[in-house]
Structure 1
Amino acid sequence: MAVQAGDLRERAAVYRAAPVTDENNETDYAYQPLRTIWANVTPTSGRTENLPGEAERAEITHKVTIREASLPEICRGMYFVVRGLRLDVLYWYPIYNRRGWLEIFCRMVQGEVQADGA
């Protein structure tokens, strides 16, 4: 079943890695908000794995369907925040039989320890 414009019910904040210059005049990359768009977000698959110390990590793949015009430039250095959950962009492709629409596949990881310890 094809997604219609009325099915875009989730507000998705889009973040993109952008270059920033620090006090030592060196260039680094930091995620900055780009825009907020309407999307249809659907979980597609998931898996779990055991980590050392009796910890468990879950990885869930989501399909994010959007109008192509709402995000004309997309890259793997982006992520979406939908209902407080971060969805990292993995890959995307146009819906060939419906001009102007994109399917973006994203990964959400639960239980993963971040580099800053969060």
Structure 2
Amino acid sequence: MLKIVDIKAAKNSEGDEFYGLIIQSGPMAIKSKKTGRLYFTNKKAFVSTTFDEQTCASMIGQEIEGSIRKVETDPYEITIEETGEVIELNHRYEYFDPALEMEEQVVEETTVI
């Protein structure tokens, strides 16, 4: 189960503004690569919407089905706002809904000749 925790304005490739939801997983235990000790974290992802700002804001706090997956990408740099440190990443987190994947599989299976 995921929770909608915030909204964010973004722009598409034509420069038009739209709003998206920031979704967050529950706490999960991770083992540190440096120390070997466990710590808790959560995963967040941005999901685009067709909703206006007011509708998105009204959804904060709601829970939705699904999970957040780590997806490999081409390397890119980001700046950590709190420290100003620039780091390179080669992944992003995105929303995954198993019900939609199941629906796609059913459509593919029924169209096979």
TM superposition score normalised by structure 2: 0.26
Which structure is higher in strand share?
Answer: 1
TM superposition score normalised by structure 1: 0.26
Which structure is higher in helix share?
Answer: 2
Which one has the largest radius of gyration? 2
